[in-house]
Amino acid sequence: MAIPFVDLALLHAPIQGEIDRAIAAVLADGQYVLGGALTAFERAFADACGVAHGVGMGCGTDAIALGLQALGIGPGQEVILPANTFVATLIGVVRAGATPILVDCDPETGLMDLDQTAAAMGDRTGAILPVHLYGQMVSPTALLDLVRDRGVILFEDAAQAHLAEREGYRAGSLGDGAAFSFFPSKNLGGFGDGGLFLTRHDSAAATARSLRNYGAPRKYYHADRGTNSRLDSIQAAVLAVKLPHLQHWNQQRNAAAATYDRLLAPLADAGITPLVNRSGGGHVYHLYPIRVRPCDRFDRDRLQSALESQGIATGIHYPIPCHRQPAYEDLGYGAGQFPHSEALAEQLLSLPMYPGITDAALEQVARAIAAVALG
């Protein structure tokens, strides 16, 4: 049987009636931009994360850019972020006007290297921007230790980590601000683009609301140089229907990952290893990447083609680390500068992962990988 990379139709089928009614209610209400549906979802999502304020944005990238700006980050300040992330993290920093400082990742988890982060911190550091990549949080206690008494903003990119937990903390609740994406395939996704900025600070929330709305704290009065980036009412209504199911869906992802871990364990000697889970049940597995060490019989790309020929869809997250992207050459980083990020870009392969994926599908994927790895 063909196995998709994600299966949104399967996810939505049991709640389709509820979603249809929520959309119909917005259509009847007529407030398509800003209004009750958005406010209600912002409250519900902020409460779920245990944070005072949620500000819905047009996408996660804007939630990073405008969120950083709302926290006072801008020109003249440095923001430290990992090279191993989706490029949107970097875009957010650049759009805020700050100077991005990249660091390598831990090769076992793919997450930001905190020793390098500590070493990169200096007088110009305005913020550190850990990315809870693949659904796993960067260690909260270590992050809080890094910023304690330093006057440095802690901003989480939680675009892949809705309701993830580690060391008793929930993603988005650690520091000064956090950004989430509601791109359709995210753990909590809408029917189009969407994002949200979370913050504990009243003033940053008010500024973010202004920035997303042309910089106007009240109509036609532009106190800030803002833009237009609101989470649509229809998206907010759909997300509000899906939010109560999120924890269960995340548990299903975590259980599927445990099954993959067990099925793939015999392939470790053949060079196939999952990324390491250091947060147990708190890892929400937005993605399930395996590391494929190349040998004379196969490498990541050959394994991907073999799976594709059997109808098994996979992904690569991400094929080019941020510091090697042509648009950001002027940052001055070179090949070989972040060896772990570069190795993972060549070796990671993300396997099918979605709530409701069956054991039969997981077994089929593992068998197909074993056939290549064991020859």
Ligand X SMILES: Cc1ncc(COP(=O)(O)O)c(C=O)c1O
Residues numbered 207-236 forming contacts with ligand X, rule: CB under 6 A: none
Strand ranges (E), 109-162 = 125-128, 153-157
Neighbouring-strand partners of residue 311: none
Residue nearest to ligand X (CB): 60
Rounded Cα gap, residues 70 and 60, in angstroms: 15
Q: Is the peptide bond before 285 cis (omega within 30 degrees of 0)?
A: no
Residue placing its CB nearer to ligand X in the complex, 45 or 86: 86
Q: Does 195 bind ligand X (CB under 6 A)?
A: yes
Residues numbered 74-113 forming contacts with ligand X, rule: CB under 6 A: 85-86, 88-89
Cβ–Cβ under 8 Å, residues 169 and 143: no
CB of 132 to ligand X, least distance (A): 8
3-state helix, strand, coil in the chain (%, to 5): 45, 15, 40
Q: What's the one-letter identity of residue 274?
A: P
**Interface characters, 160-179, with ligand X (x: CB under 6 A):** x-------------------
Residues numbered 108-137 forming contacts with ligand X, rule: CB under 6 A: 131
Q: Give, for 289, the enclosing helix (H) or strand (E).
A: strand 288-292
| Two structure tokens written together for 212 | 């997303």
- CA 279, 12, 256, 85 dihedral sign is negative
Q: Does 139 bind ligand X (CB under 6 A)?
A: no
Q: Does 157 bind ligand X (CB under 6 A)?
A: yes
Rounded Cα gap, residues 270 and 338, in angstroms: 25
Report helix, strand or coil for 314: coil
CB of 43 to ligand X, least distance (A): 21
Q: Does 272 bind ligand X (CB under 6 A)?
A: no
Residue placing its CB nearer to ligand X in the complex, 35 or 192: 192
Residue placing its CB nearer to ligand X in the complex, 71 or 362: 71
CB of 261 to ligand X, least distance (A): 23
Query: Which of the ranges 30-38, 153-161, 212-220, 299-307 carries the binding residues for ligand X, by CB under 6 A?
Result: 153-161
Binding region for ligand X (CB under 6 A) = 59-61, 85-86, 88-89, 131, 157, 159-160, 181, 183, 193, 195
